[in-house]
Structure 1
Amino acid sequence: MSLPRLGVVIVTMGNRPRELEALLASVEKQDVPAARVVLIGNATPLDGVDVAENVTKVPLGENLGCPGGRNVGLEVLRESGEVDAVIELDDDGLLVADDVFRTVQLLFAADPRLGIIGFRVADEHGHTERRWVPRLRADDPMRRGLVTAFLGGGHAFSMPMLEETGLWPSEFFFGHEESDLAWRALDAGWKILYEPELVLQHPKTSPARHAVHYRFTARNRVWLVRRRLPAPLIPVHLGVWILLTLVRSRSLAGLGAWWGGFVEGVRTPCAPRRPMRWRTVWRMTRLGRPPIV
């Protein structure tokens, strides 16, 4: 069995130096070395970051957002011709085991239609929050299986899948970029596996810590469904989402920013529109998450 060559992409804004140092060390300690590691500096020069010989530093003059920065790293790996699969990690994450890369290799080698592997994210106490489990019934974070989504903090991609589906939607900048890529992968017939034995330790944080969270979450959700859903499902999905947002919202200021983002998503272009096929809708439904929630 031929094992895929692995690459790693990490994007940083330079504001977590200790966490980044620990993450790079955990990448280096893996029992299977990565063929290439690309460290992207989003609007940061990376001058003070010490790296191993197989790490390529790419400082960017502007902040391209997480998906835009990752696309730069993916392009570097693709052009190198040295990588068959890529692992992407948040700069404040940590690989607590040293066999993560080996497990990723074996999973991809065993199934040529496996496109995405989602890691389990857990805090420093080993606890996995419900919102970190990529399924609707999130009561058991240790339940392995095929899913319709993955977490951006820790995951692995098949490079042949990316060649077919395309890269991250960089225009999203922050929020729902994982869903856009996951839906494209599923529509192209690729599988997404949630593997809880692959753990990325990550601090317990709230996405609302980002100032643009409410606006971008709303705008990008509207863009997502306009781009990817069959026309009859667009008002259904948005209607369900509006209702859930109103029920869950605890902040009037946040709700105002969310509504502004929603209007922006409706009014601004979101091309290209390539809606998923109805058989993909049915496939997602059978996997437990129809694309209306």
Structure 2
Amino acid sequence: MPKVAVILINFKDYAKKYLPECIESLRKQDYPKEDFKIFIVDNATSRETEEYLKNIAPEAETIPNEKNDGFAEGNNIVMRRLLNSDFKYIVLFNMDTVAEPSWLLELVKKAEENPTAGAVQSLILLHPETKKINSTGNLFHFLGFGFCRGYGEEVANFKSENLQPFFYVSGASALFPVKVLKEVGLFDSLFFMYHEDTDLSWRIRQAGYNLVLADKSIMYHKYQFSRSVLQFYYMERNRMIMLFENFRLGTLLLILLPFLVMEVGLFGYALLKGLAKGKIKVYGYFLNYKNWIRMIKNKKEKMKLRKVSDREIAKLIVGKVEFQEIANPILNYLVNPTFNFYWKVVRNFIFW
């Protein structure tokens, strides 16, 4: 069987909450034990956390990291090391999850059956509501908002053959061929957390690869929807960086008007929810010319990589956000219909 690396990220007491059940599910995998290896990156490591990880998961290689590099660079630490190894696939796996015994085998099987797949995502269900869906692949709004397709729906009604292509894989359970990562690069370490999986998936698509759902690779995610000032900052900043770096200039000009309208709405939302400090910090980030130099450099590198036009990418992008956790009358009856209509019209003018 192909050799596979499975990466988990820990931060402080996260492992004490989630690792025992998670690692036990990995021990029960049908995949040959000699053909996959578990790596645990311990962000902001301490003697206590390092010892705990080694005791609870002795079969894993624990990698202490003095800094808290977040999800993005935390995974990069291992992925960078494995690019020139004999591992064929790298799998990212959240610690707050539990996998079915066939999870890894089905994930690899789907990758082997699809040589043009640049990434493969599992069928992610909720926990403890294990009969409901967390994600069947994630969708992407033209203003940079990502959300889980099928969230909260009954898995009994799920039919994979009826699904349309999705835009990006969830980092909670995703497989990447090493050869693809060598070509398109790893996570942008600046992102720290949020949208790093979207940005990488976008690059993979731009390079001409497909993204695939392994519907028989099942895992359960103890998903919690939350928003703090810091989380809001990373989500908003990374959303804007991602749009600028991946869309061509013409596309950015086409979405500028709704982008500005949305900014007014988002600032009002931030004020109401006590998140305004995060939004102001985002604007401060873009007032620093050094950050623009970095973004322009990244954009040029991404443009060199791309084999797929914005016109083709736009076919995978949606004009409305359908996510139960943020559903409200204003979104459902005003924002979504207006922006969806706008996107359906303007994407016909994308010829590049």
Q: TM-score range by the shorter chain?
A: 0.7 to 0.9
Q: CA deviation at 1:83?
A: 1.0
Aligned counterparts of 2:185 and 2:216: Cα–Cα separation in 1: 28
Equivalent in 233, 239, 242 of residue 221 of structure 1: 239
Q: Which of 109, 112, 133 is the equivalent residue of 2:112?
A: 109
2:231 paired with 1:230: no
1:179 aligns to what? 198
Shift of 1:243: 3.7
Question: Alpha-carbon deviations, 1:126-150, whole Å to 9, x = none?
Answer: 22257x7513694567344532211
Residues 99 and 278 of structure 1, relative CA distance in 2, 3 Å threshold: closer
Task: Give the structure 1 partner of residue 340 of structure 2.
Answer: none
Change over 3 Å in CA distance of 1:232–1:20 after alignment to 2 = same
Q: CA deviation at 1:247?
A: 4.6
The structural deviation recorded for 1:27 is 1.1
Q: Are residue 100 (structure 1) and residue 103 (structure 2) matched?
A: yes
The answer for the alignment partner of 2:65 in structure 1 is 60
- How far apart are the structure 1 equivalents of 2:249 and 2:109? 39
CA shift digits 1:51-108 (9 cap, x unpaired): 55642110101101110000012123335x231011111111221x101111112111
Structure 1 residues 236, 182: CA separation in 2 closer, same or farther (over 3 Å shift)?
same
Which residue is 1:122 aligned to? 125
269-278 vs 107-116, which deviates more?
269-278
- Indicate if the aligned counterparts of 1:4 and 1:108 stay in contact, CA closer than 8 A: no
Pairing of 1:5-154 with structure 2 (within 5 A): 5-16=3-14, 17-32=16-31, 33=33, 34-45=35-46, 46-49=50-53, 50=55, 54-79=59-84, 81-95=85-99, 97-123=100-126, 124-126=128-130, 127-129=132-134, 133-135=137-139, 138-139=149-150, 142=158, 143=160, 144=163, 146-154=165-173
Structure whose residues are more often helix by fraction: 2
1:140-196 CA-partner distances (Å, limit 9, x unpaired): 673445322111211111111001001110011112111210111011111111334
Matched residue, 2:222? 203
Q: Residues 229 and 275 of structure 2 are in contact (CA less than 8 Å); yes or no, is this contact kept in structure 1?
A: no
Please state if 1:170 is matched with 2:189: yes
8 Å CA contact retained: 2:208, 2:308: no
**How far apart are the structure 1 equivalents of 2:167 and 2:285?**
27
Q: For the residues of structure 2 that align with 1:206 and 1:285, how far apart are their CA atoms? A: 28
Larger Rg computed on CA atoms: 2
Quick check: 2:103–2:219 contact (8 Å CA) kept in 1? no
State the Cα distance separating 1:225 from its structure 2 match: 1.8
Matched residue SS, 1:20: helix
- Rounded to whole Å, the distance in 2 between the matches of 1:254 and 1:261 is 11
SS in 1 for 2:63: strand
Distance 1:168 1:192 in 2: 17
Structure 1 pair 191/168, CA: closer, same or farther in 2 (3 Å)? same
Contact 2:270/2:279, CA 8 A, preserved across alignment? no
Runs of 5+ consecutive residues of structure 2 not aligned to the other structure:
141-147, 320-342, 348-352
Asked whether the 8 Å contact 1:217–1:261 carries over to 2, the reply is: no
- State the AA in 2 paired with 1:224: M
1:260 to 272, 281, 298: 281
Pick aligned residue for 1:273 from 296, 299, 318: 299
Taking structure 1 as reference, are residues 251 and 211 closer, same or farther at Cα in structure 2, changes over 3 Å only?
closer
RMSD after superposition? 2.8
Question: 1:25/1:226 Cα in 2 relative to 1: closer, same or farther (>3 Å)?
Answer: same
Distance (whole Å) between structure 1 residues aligned to residue 78 and residue 164 of structure 2: 28
Q: Letter of the aligned partner of 1:234 in structure 2?
A: L
User: How far, CA to CA, are the matches of 1:272 and 1:120 in structure 2?
Assistant: 32
Q: 2:328 — aligned with what?
A: none
- Provide closer, same or farther for how the CA distance between residues 129 and 262 of structure 1 changes in structure 2, counting only shifts above 3 A: farther
* 1:222/1:238 contact within 8 Å kept: no
Q: Distance in 2 between matches of 1:236 and 1:175?
A: 25
Instruction: With the length of structure 1 as denominator, give the TM-score of the two structures.
Output: 0.85
SS of alignment partner, residue 249 of structure 2? coil
Structure 1 unaligned residues grouped into runs of 5+: none
- Kept after mapping to 1: 8 A contact 2:44/2:67: yes
Any conservation in 1 of the 2:121–2:137 contact (CA below 8 Å)?
no
Matched residue count: 286
